[in-house]
Amino acid sequence: MSANVSISDSTDERTELEPVDSTRISITRRAFATNALLAIGGAVVANVAILPAAAETSQTPKSKNQENKAIVGRWFTEFWGNPWNPRIVEELGAPDILLQYSLHAPRRGREDVKAFMTGFREAFPDLSFSGVGDLIAEGDHVVGRWVGGGTHTGPAFSDFLIGSLPAASGRKMRFTGTTVLRVENGLIAEEIGLDDGVTALTQLGLLRAS
């Protein structure tokens, strides 16, 4: 009897414990699965949230290039075109902007650059240069080809590195060149050009072919 009772008690204990263990295991598995799904879902949501930012980052260089080309395009039109806009020097030129071409001495700073263009246009009222082809941008630099010139109908002009022109000489020049501009914080910090100065000076009678 005692043995039977003992076996019966043991069996009853197992019978009562097994459902409890099974339930706990079931609950534990369910909690683990739920947490796993939440973790996976969170990762997916995080990835979805991150993707646009990554795409935006990858587009940043392209956007910057386009922005710099727009700045240079406006500079070419309003600084070198006709009519010109003197205010463009303050708007788009850096405070210590460098302007350098082979025909003239380098100019540094907004006031110096503005004075150069003012005198140039007084001597050549129809002075005009325009871009040829598309601008090329990479990082802070923009490269552009151009063509232009004008007729000397104004006061005497001696800003060329070689020779000078008497007042209203009526001489014409038209030449080409390539310019590299550096844009810094939305402003033009440098404009350094390689121009066909030999052609221009020859046309103006300041340089004679040997």
Please report, rounded to a whole number, the percentage of residues in the chain having pLDDT higher than 70: 71
How many Å separate Cα 127 from the centre of its chain? 29
Domain layout of the chain by residue ranges = 63-203
Give the tens place of pLDDT for each residue, 3-58: 443 333 443 444 344 444 444 444 444 544 445 444 444 443 334 333 344 344 44
Question: pTM (2 decimals)?
Answer: 0.71
Residue 169 pLDDT > 70: yes
How would residue 124 be classed by pLDDT, with cut points 50, 70 and 90? very high
Question: Tell me, what's the pLDDT at 126?
Answer: 98
Of 62, 85, 84, 92, residue with least CA distance to 189: 92
Q: The domain 63-203 is classified under which CATH number: 3.40.30.10, 3.10.450.50, 3.30.70.360, 3.40.50.1010?
A: 3.10.450.50
Residue 141, C-beta contacts closer than 8 angstroms, at least 6 positions apart: 180, 181, 182, 183
pLDDT for 60 equals 64
Q: What is the pLDDT of residue 62?
A: 82
pLDDT band for position 59 (cuts 50, 70, 90): very low
Question: What is the reported pLDDT for 209?
Answer: 76
**CB environment 39-74: b (16+ within 10 A), e (fewer):** eeeeeeeeeeeeeeeeeeeeeeeeeebeebbebbeb
pLDDT at 23: 44
